[in-house]
Amino acid sequence: MKLFEIEYISLIAGFILLIVGLWGIISQRNIIKMIISFSILDTSVHLLLVAVGYIRNRTAPIIDSSVNKLNAANEITDPLPQALVLTAIVIGVGITALLLTYALKLFRQNSSLEINQYKSLKW
């Protein structure tokens, strides 16, 4: 059954995670939980990227013993999305780290991690 092929599973899982992440960001009051939701959101996109680049019955784009060097282009999946995912992961880590830093700053100053207690900037 086609639906249970790996790329569709990862695609669907990606979209489910996407919604979970978005929902978490807008529903969780705790800042740490929001950051976790953001990480889920991030991961979901990575999953989607990989799913998009996957070509069935091919191996990872790493030139080692399992790949015939001469015929590599026909044996490995599209390497580009995988490279992109690596970059995206790095960026995601950076942003998560920065978010956590801000969470730390906020907690140190006001001893609270509830997002709706920080509403002094508005209108």
Partner 1 sequence: MVNPIYIVAVLLGTAFLLGLFRKKGTGIIALVALAFPVFVSASWFFHFLSGNTEVLNFFTAGAKPPFSINLQLGIEEALFTMVINVLGFLGYTYLYRDFKEQGIKSTVLFLILIMGLNVLIMSRDIFNLFVFLEIVSIAIAGLIYLKRGADTAIAGFKYLIALGVISTFLLIGIAFFYLFSGTLNIDDFLNSNLPAVKGMSMAVFLILMAILLELKPFPANGWALDVYQAAHPGISAMISSGTATASIFLLYKLLPLSSIDWLPYISIIGAITFIGSNLLGIAQKDSNRLLGYSSVGQIGLMLIIIGMAPQLGEHFNLIFLTVFISHFLAKAGLFWISGIIKKDNIRQWSVLRKNKLLLFMFGFFLLTLLGFPPFPSFYGKWQLIMELAHGSQFIWLALILAGSFFEGMYLIRWFGFAMKEKDESEEKLTIHWEKMIPPVIFTVFVMGASYFANNSSDYGHTLNLIPIYFVIALFLLDFLPAFVKNSLVIASMIIYSILLYPDISDDTLRLVFAGIFMIGGVLTLFAGYSVKGKREGFFPFVVMMYAGLIGLIEAENLFQFFFAWEIMTLGSYFLILRGKKSIKHAFNYMLFSLGGAYLIFIGFALSYFGQDSLDLSIISATTLPGWTYTLLAIGFLTKTAAIGLHIWLPGAHAEAESDVSPMVSGILLKAGAFGLILLFLLMGAEQSEQHSLLYILGWLGAITAVGGNLLAVFQEDAKRLLAYSSVGNLGYILFALAFMTNVGWLTAITYSINHFLFKTLLFLAIGGVVMRVKTHNMYEMGGLIKKMPWSFIAVLIGIITLAGIPPLAGYGGKWLFYNAVLTKGWYFQGALIFFSGTIAFLYAFKLIYSVFLGQPKDKFRNVKEAPIWYLIPQFILMIGIMVFSARPDLILKPIGTMLSQSNYFPTDPLNWEDVTATTNLGYWSGYKIMIVIGVMFVVLLGWLMIMSRKAQKIKQFNIVYAGERPFTPGTTHFSHNMFSNYYKAIGFLSWPVATGFWNGVNLFTHNVADNIRRIYSGNGQTYIVHIMIYTIVIYLLMF
Interface residue list for partner 1 (CB under 8 A) = 18, 21-22, 25-27, 31, 34, 38, 41-42, 45, 48-49, 52-53, 80-81, 84, 87-88, 91, 94-95, 98-99, 102-103, 105-106, 109-110, 115-116, 118-123
The tokens for 55 are 């070509």
Least Å distance, CB 103 to partner 1, is 7
Least Å distance, CB 118 to partner 1, is 4
Residue with tokens 């999305």: 81
The smaller minimum CB distance to partner 1, of residues 2 and 65, is found at 2
The smaller minimum CB distance to partner 1, of residues 71 and 120, is found at 120
Residue with tokens 């086609």: 2
- Start-to-end CA distance of the chain, whole Å, equals 53
Least Å distance, CB 27 to partner 1, is 8
How many CA atoms are closer than 13 Å to the CA of 58, on its beta-carbon side?
20
**d(Cα 70, Cα 5) in Å, to the nearest integer?**
28
